[in-house]
Amino acid sequence: MEHFHASALIITVLLSINPALQGSGIAVIVGTRNEDLQALAADPSAARSWVDSNVVPYASGLKILCISAGNEVIPGDLAQYVPGAMQNLAAALEAANLDGIRISTVVPMSVLGPSFPPSNGVFSPETTPVMKQIVSILASKNSPLLLNVYPYFPRAGEPEHVSLDYALLQGTAAPVPDGPLTYHNLFDAMVDTVYAALEKIGGEHIEIVVSETGWPTEGGADASIGNAQIYVNNLIGLVSSGQGTPRRPNTNVDTYIFALFNEDLKPEGIERHWGLYYPDLTEVYHANLYWSEDARSYPDEDIRWLSQIGDRDELDLLETLGLDAREAE
C-alpha cells in the first residue's frame, strides 16, 4: 500500500502564510499566541473573532489539521486559561462549520512529575488539574495531545545516566526494562511516559502527536552536525516503521521535525542550531525524508516538517528546496 502525505508545518500566526500555500496541499497546525489565551478563554466572542480572522479565510484552500491553544504554557501562569480557550475555540470552529478541524495544545515534557521507568509516568501535582480538563476536551473532540519531545535535553542534563546511544536512538544502548516492556531508545521512553500519565487521568484513548523533536548542531554538549544527522535519520526509520512504541505497539506516532531552518535571530547557543538548512538555503546535513518506489519521491506519512514562521517568510523557500507537496490520500 502506498502512503503519500503532504509536507506539514506548524505555524504560530496564520496571517504570515504566503498566499502560495492556498491550494498547495501543504497541511498546517495553527497555534494561537500564548498572550492571547486569557482573552480567548474569557470571551467566546474573542474566540469567534480569532477563528474568523485566522482560520475562515484560509480553510477552503488550505488543509488545517488542528488548532493549538498556545505553546508550552503548562506548567505556568497561563496554564489556567488553556481549557477555556480550547472550549471556546472549538465552539467557534463549530459555529463556522469547521468542526472537522481538531483542537489541542502543545505541552512539554515538564508537565510530568518524577516518572521512571515509563510505566510510572504521572503528571505533576501542579499540572494534573489542568491536564484532567484538557484530556476531557481532547476525548470529546477526538483530538490528539501535542507533545514536544527532545531526547537531547535529558542527555545534556544527566549524561551520567543517559547514554548518547540511547538518546540518539542507535539501538545499541543497554535496554531499559520496565515490567514486561523493554526500551531501546529514549524517544519511545519519553512518549510512553506521557501515555502512562494520560492513562492515569482517564486519557487511555488519547493519541499523542509529537509536535516538535530534533537535535541541535551547535551550542552545547553533544550538539554536532554528526549527532543531529544520526538522531533525525534514526527517528525517521523508527517512526516510518509503523511499529509504534512498546506501550502502544503498531500505533503510528505522527512526528514533526524541528526545524526546517536554523534561526539566526535567536539568542546565542543551541536555540539557533536546530535546522536542516542554513538561512542561505545550504544544507546543514542530509535527512532521509523521502522514499521512492519509482523516480518520484514523497514525504513519509508520519514524518513532517516543522518551521516556526516569524518575520522572515520562509515559505517562499519551499519551492527552491524542492519540497513538492502533494495532497494527502
Angle formed by the axes of helices 186-200 and 225-240, nearest 10°: 50
Q: Has 212 been annotated as catalytic?
A: yes
Q: Has 218 been annotated as catalytic?
A: no
DSSP characters over 57-100: HHHTTSEEEEEEEEES-SSSTTGGGHHHHHHHHHHHHHHTT-TT
Q: State residue 18's pLDDT score.
A: 55
Catalytic residue (one of 35, 94, 207, 212): 212
Q: State residue 183's pLDDT score.
A: 98
Q: State residue 89's pLDDT score.
A: 98
Catalytic residue (one of 35, 72, 207, 301): 72
Grid cell 513519509 is found at 300
The three-class DSSP label of residue 24 is coil
In tens digits, the chain (329 residues) has pLDDT values of 222 233 455 555 444 455 566 676 677 888 999 999 999 999 999 999 999 998 998 888 888 889 999 999 999 999 999 999 999 999 999 999 999 999 999 999 999 999 999 999 999 999 999 999 999 999 999 999 999 999 999 999 999 999 999 999 999 999 999 999 999 999 999 999 999 999 999 999 999 999 999 999 999 999 999 999 999 999 999 998 889 999 999 988 999 898 888 988 888 899 999 999 898 888 999 998 754 333 233 344 445 555 444 333 444 444 433 333 222 22
CA distance 193 to 187: 10
| Domain coordinates in residue numbering, the chain | 8-320
Q: State residue 266's pLDDT score.
A: 86
Question: Measuring CA to CA, how many Å separate 216 from each of 15, 31, 156, 232?
Answer: 28, 23, 11, 10
> Superfamily for 8-320?
Glycosidases (3.20.20.80)
Give the CA radius of gyration of the chain.
19
Grid cell 504570515 is found at 16
Q: State residue 263's pLDDT score.
A: 85
